[in-house]
Amino acid sequence: MFGLLPNFAAEVKYGRRSYNARSETVAKLATFKHAWSAGQRCVIPADAIYEPNWETGKAVRWRIALPDNAPMGIAGIYRRWRNPAGGELYTFAMLTVNADEHPVMQRFHRPGDEKRMVVILEPAQYMAWLSCSVAEAPRYFQRWLGPLEAEPAPMARAPRIQPDPPEEQELF
């Protein structure tokens, strides 16, 4: 499930606050530090990401993708969450880095706010990201230097995915 749920989360909706884990604080914040210190890293597949562009004075949803809509792998962390009401879910968050200087990503988010972007991995990095030590993992906290394509997508909506009820969900 999108949105990492720490063991202290009492309900699934807590995950709405934990879609992204800042690379600078992932090892320190209570929400993320257990997954980080346990080396529970994942690669999140995506066709694109969506961000708000405020250049017109109001938020306009934009679609950001790799050239030719190539699939991207986003660096993430995951953990298993035990629902107090019963059942378990695997939950995850995307890692982000500062993007104030990125030629494309600096255009997104509210004026005056820090610009952030997800950590996009090269396919050749996937296995190393998944298997490196916790001490080595921060070397992957880099802004994407490859090309990105961005275009307004005001009608595009990310799919809203509801988790299966805990008693019906397969864990692996």
CA 148-1-149 angle, to 5 degrees, is 10
For position 83, which CATH number holds?
3.90.1680.10
Q: For residue 3, is it within any domain?
A: no
In a domain, 134, yes or no: yes
pLDDT at 155: 65
Q: Tokens 């320190």: give the residue.
A: 28
Q: What is the per-residue pLDDT for 137?
A: 97
- The predicted structure's pLDDT at residue 170: 45
The answer as to whether 161 is a domain residue is no
pLDDT value at position 33?
97
3-class secondary structure, 145: coil
Residue 171 lies in a domain: no
Over the Cα atoms of the chain, what is R_g?
A: 16
Amino acid at 114: E
Number of domains in the chain: 1
Does the residue 172 lie in any domain? no
- pLDDT for 85 equals 84
**Rounded CA gap, 85 and 76, in Å?**
26
User: Which portions of the chain are predicted below pLDDT 70?
Assistant: 154-172
> Which domain does 23 fall in, by range?
12-152
pLDDT at site 172: 38
